[in-house]
């Protein structure tokens, strides 16, 4: 399988008053086309930062210090270095080629706009030309069907004007005349058909994420929907432009278990239907085993182990992965915990960051970090035991 | 649309806010129809200058000719308060409008971008806030030549910092919300995020403060006029009418309340105008409170 995203040596640091926090340290990770890659780890292990780094949305005072993130654009058949793109080009990728679903569906929706408004905004941002084409066809059919009566006679010049504007947008999404008119009150109404078309696409999209009665839901405000519905709406927003990579940052954490199951089913279907890759960030190993093809385990900003999902659960190699799997609560089993606390990101232990908590630490672990190496096919681990 | 209907219904339902609306409505009618209510005498130049009937310092009692009497210098009080309504609206709306725009622009830039930009803008507002507002306004008007325009400029200069701070604080809070991050994740530009996503969630406290402040601004302008730092003498302005009455608050010892109209009438106009805006502002606060049930 071909790669979609190639992350090499990426470091993310936060410059705080207390010192430099190494949120991600020399991360190497590939996301392949059409796969679901899970990232698991404790709170603060850098899972979310990895996701934000791909979108270049690391919050202030954080910075992506070094490395490269290559995005292989299937449509253009081109490799794009995301870290070197201009902010403007990057914006055209966010939400369009790579989009993200956030943890808390209630918080990820703006309370002052309806669901429909928010999802159509994505279309208006990224697919103006397509929308203009559809709108032009609609105006054409209005002009062609030769209705009479004084209303149609009055409107005809406006329709012609609209047709001209939409053709301009369809050719060049930033052409001057429609942009200027869009800023003027009253004239703005000429461009209304764009948002009408966007709304139609939105309703289709909502239907796609299995929302019943999508036209009605599109007119609702976020607070009028249940948590599961909101999450579906957020997923619809992320999928609106058929992205090649969908980043899901703990999308099921805040939902109750039955809704979680429905969401996982939805993610599985999306992957099959749309052929998108999914980067699934979670701290729930059960969820990861359900949806992922491969799983990457992170600890304190470093990658410990990457393996296909069965391999990882049946044959975990890294001591941290083993400890994590032991710590999964199961009925009739004594609950084990990992001794110690997560490594301090301000003053990380030297060598392997897990060594203070590792049952099988060797002297070398305190000095030198182990490099990620492939021990069997597709199974990579960063540990001196192997 | 439903929101607008909801707002109107709430406004009308509450007796206090209804009183506020009625007061402001009456003042608006007075301001709009001022030329009909108090026609400018033929041959009189600028309609905003109050016509005077002689030069005697002693106020004259209300009569057929001067409905509310005349004040010091024989300026017609009725004409003054009616045309003064226009000045009051102009001062209140212009000052608050400009101040809100400045506050929104600077405050949202400071709050959204943070860092050095925030630091610079906020230190400038600190400098302005360090001076007592009324004294700074007085100093500015004195420097600029007393006139209604310089009163407005002075009030804008002293009141924008608190708006910039208010907006900044609300933007700071909204900025951390997931939907802001989400809209950036969907490819929205900074300007779009601020205008479309951050401001609509952060602007309500400012709108409430603005509606409350329209009254307060008019009061400050009246205070400046009262101190002689306002419009030129004879200009229709409530503050100036009260200033004319300064020597006539207490009448001759035989009849201390003889000149009550010279003080009370302009004073009541100011009182009801400020009260109307305050009631309206309170009503807005209640309506725009998101915790209030919508349906």
Q: Report the candidate in B138, B198, B212, B133 with the shortest Cα–Cα distance to residue B168.
A: B198
* Beta carbons of A102 and B290 less than 8 Å apart: no
B186-211 confidence digits (pLDDT tens): 888 899 899 989 998 888 889 889 98
Instruction: Pick the residue of A63, A108, A281 with the most B CBs within 10 A to test the interface with B by mutation.
Output: A108
**Nearest-5° angle of CA B168, CA B187, CA A72?**
145
> Touching check for B189 and chain A: CB below 8 Å?
yes
- The residues in B 265-294 lying below 8 A from A, measured between CB atoms, are 290
Q: Which burial class, exposed, middle or buried, applies to A196 when counting CB atoms under 10 A from its CB (0-12, 13-18, 19+)?
A: middle
Instruction: Pick the residue of A17, A112, A242 with the most B CBs within 10 A to test the interface with B by mutation.
Output: A112
Considering only CB atoms, which chain B residues are within 8 Å of A122? 186-187
pLDDT recorded at residue B151: 92
Q: Report the candidate in A138, A95, A137 with the shortest Cα–Cα distance to residue A119.
A: A95
Considering only CB atoms, which chain B residues are within 8 Å of A57? 181, 184-185
Q: Does position B292 have pLDDT exceeding 60, yes or no?
A: no
* Beta carbons of A57 and B185 less than 8 Å apart: yes
* pLDDT-based confidence at residue B289 (cuts at 50, 70, 90): low
Asked if B168 and B111 touch (Cβ cutoff 8 Å), the reply is yes
User: Mean per-residue pLDDT for B55-70?
Assistant: 81
Nearest CA-CA distance, residue B267 and chain A, Å: 41
pTM of the model: 0.78
Q: What's the rounded Cα separation, in Å, for the pair A263 and A251?
A: 8
| Sequence-ordered alpha helix ranges (H) in chain B | 2-13, 15-32, 34-37, 77-113, 115-130, 133-144, 148-175, 178-185, 190-192, 199-202, 204-226, 238-244, 260-288
* Beta carbons of B179 and A110 less than 8 Å apart: yes
Q: What's the rounded Cα separation, in Å, for the pair B267 and A378?
A: 85
Q: Which burial class, exposed, middle or buried, applies to B98 when counting CB atoms under 10 A from its CB (0-12, 13-18, 19+)?
A: middle
Give average pLDDT by consecutive 10-residue segment, chain A, 386 residues.
Answer: 87 88 88 91 86 88 88 82 89 89 86 90 88 88 76 81 86 78 79 89 89 91 89 89 89 82 85 86 88 91 91 91 86 82 81 86 85 87 86
Q: Which burial class, exposed, middle or buried, applies to A296 when counting CB atoms under 10 A from its CB (0-12, 13-18, 19+)?
A: buried
Tell me the ipTM for this assembly: 0.76
A45-63 confidence digits (pLDDT tens): 888 899 999 999 888 788 8
Pairing verdict, β A302-308 and A294-299:
antiparallel
- The residues in A 83-102 lying below 8 A from B, measured between CB atoms, are 88, 91-96, 99-100, 102
The residues that bridge with A248 in the sheet, in sequence order, are A101, A280
* Beta carbons of B178 and A107 less than 8 Å apart: yes
> Touching check for B187 and chain A: CB below 8 Å?
yes
Q: Does position B295 have pLDDT exceeding 50, yes or no?
A: no
- Coil, helix or strand at residue A109: coil
């Amino acid at each position: 399988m071909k790669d979609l995203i190639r992350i090499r040596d990426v470091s993310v640091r936060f410059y705080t008053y207390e010192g430099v926090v190494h949120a991600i340290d020399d991360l190497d990770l590939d996301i392949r086309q059409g796969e679901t890659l899970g990232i698991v780890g404790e709170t603060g292990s850098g899972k979310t930062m990895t996701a934000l780094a791909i979108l270049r949305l690391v919050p202030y005072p954080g910075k992506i210090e070094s490395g490269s993130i290559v995005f292989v654009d299937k449509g253009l058949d081109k490799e794009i270095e995301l870290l070197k793109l201009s902010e403007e080009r990057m914006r055209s990728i966010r939400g369009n080629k790579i989009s993200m679903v956030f943890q808390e569906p209630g918080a990820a929706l703006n309370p002052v706009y309806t669901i429909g408004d928010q999802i159509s905004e994505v279309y208006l941002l990224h697919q103006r030309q397509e929308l203009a084409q559809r709108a032009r066809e609609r105006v054409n059919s209005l002009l062609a069907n030769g209705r009479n009566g004084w209303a149609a006679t009055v409107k005809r010049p406006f329709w012609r004007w609209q047709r001209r504007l939409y053709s301009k947008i369809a050719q060049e999404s930033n052409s001057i005349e429609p942009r200027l008119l869009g800023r003027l009150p009253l004239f703005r109404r000429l461009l209304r058909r764009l948002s009408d078309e966007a709304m139609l696409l939105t309703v289709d999209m909502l239907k796609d994420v299995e929302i019943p009665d999508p036209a009605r839901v599109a007119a609702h405000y976020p607070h009028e929907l249940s948590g599961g519905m909101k999450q579906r709406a957020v997923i619809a927003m992320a999928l609106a432009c058929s992205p090649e990579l969908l980043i899901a940052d703990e999308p099921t954490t805040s939902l109750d278990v039955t809704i979680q199951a429905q969401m996982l089913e939805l993610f599985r279907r999306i992957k099959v239907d749309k052929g998108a890759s999914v980067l699934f960030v979670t701290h729930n190993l059960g969820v990861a085993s359900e949806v992922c093809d491969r799983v990457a385990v992170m600890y304190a900003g470093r990658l410990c182990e990457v393996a296909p999902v069965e391999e990882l659960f049946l044959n975990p190699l890294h001591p941290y992965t083993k400890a994590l799997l032991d710590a999964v609560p199961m009925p009739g089993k004594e609950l084990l915990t990992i001794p110690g606390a997560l490594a301090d990101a301000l003053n990380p232990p030297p060598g392997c960051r897990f060594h203070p908590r590792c049952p099988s630490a060797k002297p070398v672990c305190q000095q030198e970090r182990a490099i990620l190496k492939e021990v069997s096919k597709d199974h990579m681990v960063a540990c001196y035991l192997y | 649309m439903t929101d607008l209907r909801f707002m109107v219904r709430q406004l009308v339902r509450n007796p206090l806010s209804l009183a506020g609306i009625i007061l402001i409505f009456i003042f608006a009618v007075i301001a709009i129809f001022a030329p009909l209510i108090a026609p400018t005498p033929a041959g009189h130049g600028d309609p905003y200058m109050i016509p005077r009937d002689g030069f005697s310092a002693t106020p004259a009692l209300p009569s057929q000719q001067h409905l509310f009497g005349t004040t010091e210098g024989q300026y017609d009080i009725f004409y003054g308060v009616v045309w003064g309504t226009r000045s009051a609206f102009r001062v209140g709306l212009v000052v608050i409008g400009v101040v809100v725009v400045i506050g929104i622009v600077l405050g949202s830039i400071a709050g959204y971008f943070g860092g050095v930009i925030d630091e610079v803008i906020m230190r400038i507002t600190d400098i302005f806030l360090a001076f007592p507002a009324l004294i700074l306004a007085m100093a500015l008007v004195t420097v600029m030549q007393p006139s209604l325009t310089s009163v407005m400029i002075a009030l804008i200069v002293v009141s924008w910092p608190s708006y910039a701070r208010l907006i900044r604080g609300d933007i700071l809070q909204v900025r951390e919300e997931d939907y802001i991050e989400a809209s950036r994740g969907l490819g929205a530009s900074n300007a779009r995020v601020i205008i479309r996503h951050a401001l609509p969630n952060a602007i309500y406290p400012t709108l409430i403060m603005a509606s409350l402040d329209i009254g307060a601004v008019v009061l400050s302008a009246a205070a400046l006029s009262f101190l002689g730092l306002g419009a030129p003498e004879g200009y229709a302005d409530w503050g100036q009418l009260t200033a004319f009455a300064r020597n006539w608050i207490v009448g001759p010892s035989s009849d201390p309340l003889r000149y009550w109209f010279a003080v009370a009438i302009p004073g009541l106009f100011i009182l009801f105008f400020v009260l109307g805006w305050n009631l309206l502002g309170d009503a807005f606060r209640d309506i725009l409170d998101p915790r209030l049930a919508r349906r």
